[in-house]
Structure formats: C-alpha cells, structure tokens
Amino acid sequence: MVVDSKRGFILLFKESAVALSVLFVWDMLIVVGFELYHQSWMEQPALPIALIGSVLVLFMNFRNSSAYNRWWEARSYWGLITNNCRSLARQINSLLGPECPDLTRAVAAYAHTLFCSLRGKDALKNDNVKRVMPESIQQYIKGLHNQPNGVLYQIALGVTKEANKKNLDGALQGQIDRILSDIANAQGALERIRNTPLSIQFSILPRFLAEIFCVILPLSMVQSLGWLTPLGSSLVGFLFIALDKIGSDLKDPFSDSPHALPMLTMTRNIEIDLLEQINDPTKPPIRPMNGIQW
C-alpha cells in the first residue's frame, strides 16, 4: 500500500509512461498531418468527443467505486481478523493459563497462513509460518486445500483438550469458540472477495474505451490548439489512463503489488502482539520502504 503521496504520484506516472509515450507520438502524427499536409478528415467536431468523454468518466467512476469498495471491505475484514486474534490469544492465556504457549503461537501462525492462502501460496513454504507454527500443526495442514481452516481446527482441538484437562466451565470455553467462529466468518468473507472478481465488463471495457477515446481525442483538439495539441491531448489522456489504472490496481486487494493491502505488515503486527504475551522473541515491525507499506 502506497503511504507516501509523492511516491504514489511518481509510481503512477512510471506505470503510465508507456501508454503516455504512445499517445504523445500519435498526437504528433495528427498535428503534423493537419498542420503540414492539411488532412481534412482530421477536422472532427468537439461536441461528440466531449459527450463520449463525459459518459466514459461516469462509467470509470462507477468501476473505480466498485473496486475501492472491494479493497476497503477486504481491509475491514482484516481488521476483524486482527482484533479477534488478539482476543483469542488473551482468552487462551487468561482462561487456560500460561501452560499453552503453542496455542498462542498457532494463532499468530494462523494470520501468516491466511496471508499465504489469499496469495494462492503454500503456507509451509513461508518462513514466517515455519518459524512460528508448532511442528504438529505443520504436519497436519500439509496437503490441505484450506490450510487456514486446518489451523483453526487444530486450535479448537487444543482448546478443548486443555479445557477438559482443567475442567473449565462450558460457558467460558464457549467464549473462545465464539471468537474462533468470528475469525472463520471473517476468513470466509476474505475468500469470497478473492474468489469473486469484478465482472469482465468492468475489467476490460473501461480500458478499451479509454484507449479508443485517447485515439480520437486529438482529432477534436487539433483545430483549436494546433501545435499545442500533443500537450493538451496528452494531459487529458493521462487523466483517463490514471483513472483506469486506479481501478485496475484496487480491484485485487490481495495481489503482490504496491497498491494491494499491506498484509505482510498486518500479519507481522499480529505476531508481535501475540508472542509478546508469552515472552517469545519475534521480529521487529515492518516499516515502509520507499513510501510503500508491504
């Protein structure tokens, strides 16, 4: 996630540089053809282009709003994961006692496992998972289709075992189970967002229409701007390219890109909060690098 506005603008400009270069070359061809060779077909009225641009802005705004809602919903559910992991570890330590450090480590490892799952990776190949997760749970989730769910299942079994050993009241054990259910519900919501991408119309059509608009745009500007057409057309074209890029970046909040959710930072923070409760050593928080929080 980009946290530095200056760095964000530079990144957006770099990612749009190729499209802008192509657009600038096309604008130069149009203005040379009009000014030097007097091609009459280039004299297109401005009103139709303006109407097309207005409709395109509305369409892209709706797509970008939908993409941002997906991104923000995913961030909200990660907030629930964070809060419930803290609550679960607190309940384990206070109700079951300090004799269950592996359960707290399993909760910390769950966050890393969920991060890997949302990226479509095997959690057992992740160094953070192998560093924190108890060996018995690593063996259990090996080969499972849904590894985070397997970790939650093992945590539930461990809680039940310790509760029976200590003759814990059923109501108190139910408190822990409710937190596990809340975590599972938040995980399910995150998986729904990952497995339900934006429709193909919102993924492809805005970019296609923006490219068509940028191609015909200088034809309506060259009559009035003349040799300044490349400057004006490229500026307007950049705005449409930027709008399209924003929607494309936000539609997948779990991707490995500077615009996705900072899941690595969130999982590390969960690990630190939980392992400090049992006096386990852990790594320091992840700081932004070049204006980007990973």
The pLDDT tens digits of the residues spanning 249-271 come to 888 899 888 888 899 999 999 99
C-alpha 267/C-alpha 82 separation (Å) is 8
Q: How confident is the model at residue 32 (pLDDT cuts 50, 70, 90)?
A: confident
Provide the pLDDT confidence category of residue 18 given band limits of 50, 70 and 90.
Answer: confident
Q: What are phi and psi of 292, to 5 degrees?
A: -125, 130
**207 in a domain, yes or no?**
no
Q: Alpha-carbon distance 52 to 233, whole Å?
A: 15
Residue 46 included in any domain: no
Residue 58 counted as domain residue: no
20 falls within a domain: no
Structural domains of the chain, count:
1
Q: What is the pLDDT of residues 117-132, one digit of tens each?
A: 999 999 999 999 999 9
Query: Is residue 265 a part of any domain in this protein?
Result: yes
Ranking 5-9, 113-117, 159-163, 171-175 by mean pLDDT, the lowest is: 5-9
State pLDDT tens for residues 73-87: 999 999 999 999 999
146: domain range? 83-198+259-284
Q: Show contacts of 225-232: CB within 8 Å, 24+ apart.
A: 226/31, 226/35, 227/31, 227/35, 229/27, 229/30, 229/31, 230/24, 230/27, 230/28, 230/31
Q: Could you tell me if residue 71 is inside a domain?
A: no
Give the pLDDT score at 274: 93
Q: How far is the CA of 115 from the CAs of 80, 121, 155, 270, 285, in angstroms?
A: 14, 9, 18, 12, 16
Question: Does residue 183 sit within a domain?
Answer: yes
Task: Give residue-wise pLDDT tens across range 43-72.
Answer: 666 667 777 778 788 878 888 888 889 999
- Tell me the whole-structure pTM to 2 decimals: 0.83
Q: Is 16 part of any domain?
A: no
Structure tokens at 247: 């929607």
Per DSSP, 2 falls in state B
Helices 101-118 and 170-195 sit at what angle, rounded to 10 degrees? 20
Question: What confidence tier does 116 reach under pLDDT thresholds 50, 70, 90?
Answer: very high
